[in-house]
Amino acid sequence: MRNQLLISCASALLLATGCGTSLLNRGVEEGTIEYALSFPGYDPNGLMAGMLPERTTLCFTEDKQVAELSAGMGIFRTMMQVDNKGRSMDYHMSMMGKKIVAHLQPRDMDLFNSDYGSPTILFTQDVDTIAGYPCKRAVAVFDRMLQPEIDLWYTEAIQMKNPNWYGPFAEVPGVLLRYEMVQNGIRMHLDAISVTPGTVDLAKFDTQKEFDSVAPAVLHQQLGEVLSTFSM
């Protein structure tokens, strides 16, 4: 009787372990990533240092994502609604009551990625764990930036299709959890501090009717004017 009980317990444990492994192997298909932000090279005593953002979030499903950022105590906000499957983005910007949005397609991305040029992506064997997720390291090598290399740590345990198609790191197959980006001369370091699996409110992907539609070039110009104030 005791042996039968031990066998039953061992079988139950084996089944539970097998199920847990299966769930892990499937990866996360929906949830929210929170990143801590820092600004390498930025003067901490600069006029606008206290206005820089400290956190940003990325909500994702298998084929969509929404990135939101707030700076200047909420005066300046951006939101990018990205359709990975349809390869399009609605880029929102609000500043002191002014709200504009541009619909971007692949042909518009060079305008917003002009700080990078065409980087060469080198994949390495380095691994690490970030926010509890296994990550691999790639290196982006540039020919036109002051800092010639950027480390890209990404995970393939989050099941998002073509997560980086719209940026300079499109070759990277996984979701970026630690990396840097540059826009209008401002370098921003993003480091994931949490990944929370769970259902994402589909309203986050809805059209924001209170925003005025503008051409991509207009949004880029307005964004540049705002960001230039943070580089003072």
In a domain, 13, yes or no: no
Residue 174, pLDDT score: 97
Here the CATH number for the domain that contains residue 91 is 2.50.20
Q: What is the pLDDT of residue 18?
A: 35
What are the backbone dihedrals phi and psi of residue 219, each rounded to the nearest 5 degrees, phi first? -60, -45
Residue 24 lies in a domain: no
Answer for the pair 211, 92: CB distance below 8 angstroms, yes or no: yes
Per the domain annotation, does 152 fall within a domain? yes
List, for residues 124-154, the tens digit of each pLDDT value: 999 999 999 999 999 999 876 566 789 999 9
- Residue 158 is assigned to a structural domain of this protein: yes
Q: Considering its fold, how many domains does the chain have in total? A: 1
Residues 138/125, Cβ–Cβ less than 8 Å = no
Q: Is residue 88 part of a domain?
A: yes
Q: Across the chain, what does the average pLDDT equal?
A: 85
pLDDT for 230 equals 67
pLDDT value, residue 147: 66
Q: What is the dihedral of CA 28, 29, 32, 36, to 10 degrees?
A: 60
Domain annotation covers residue 180:
yes
pLDDT band at 10 (very low <50, low <70, confident <90, very high): very low
Mean predicted confidence (pLDDT) in 39-43: 78
Question: Residue 227 above 60 pLDDT?
Answer: yes
Report pLDDT digits (tens) over 160-172: 999 999 999 999 9
The proportion of the chain whose per-residue pLDDT surpasses 70, expressed as a percent, equals: 82
- Domain coverage including residue 74: 31-230
Render pLDDT for 55-106 as a digit per residue (tens, 0 to 9): 999 999 999 999 999 988 788 999 999 999 999 999 999 998 899 999 999 9
Residue 5 lies in a domain: no
pLDDT of residue 5 exceeding 50:
no
- The answer to whether position 116 is within a domain reads yes
CB half-sphere exposure, 6, CA atoms < 13 A: 3
Q: Which pLDDT belongs to residue 40?
A: 86
